[in-house]
């Protein structure tokens, strides 16, 4: 696991543990940036699965005729 970020990268202000944003300048913490990138990746995977499902159903529909 990555170590807990104790200070803001932008302004150097102290961060509360588990903070997503710096209370002083509003910059996102490293933890929040990582969570956002993970969320985007999960979203892309889910979107790909939906596309595959739609394509699969379209293929089944086309084959059945």
| Site for Zn ion, rule CB under 5 A | 8, 10-11, 13, 22, 24-25, 27
Which CB, 10 or 53, lies closer to Zn ion? 10
Q: C-alpha distances in angstroms, 21 versus 3, 18, 41, 65?
A: 16, 9, 21, 55
Q: How far is the CB of 7 from Zn ion (least distance, A)?
A: 8
Between CA 33 and CA 49, with CA 20 as vertex, the angle to 5 degrees is 45
Which CB, 33 or 41, lies closer to Zn ion? 33
Q: How far is the CB of 5 from Zn ion (least distance, A)?
A: 11
Backbone angles phi, psi at 7, to 5 degrees: -135, 150
Q: How far is the CB of 4 from Zn ion (least distance, A)?
A: 16
């Amino acid at each position: 696991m990555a170590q807990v970020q104790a200070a803001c990268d932008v302004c150097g202000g102290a961060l509360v543990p588990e903070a997503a944003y710096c209370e002083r300048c509003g910059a996102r913490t490293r933890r929040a940036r990582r969570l956002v990138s993970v969320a985007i990746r999960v979203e892309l995977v889910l979107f790909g699965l939906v596309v595959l499902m739609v394509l699969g159903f379209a293929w089944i529909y086309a084959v059945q005729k």
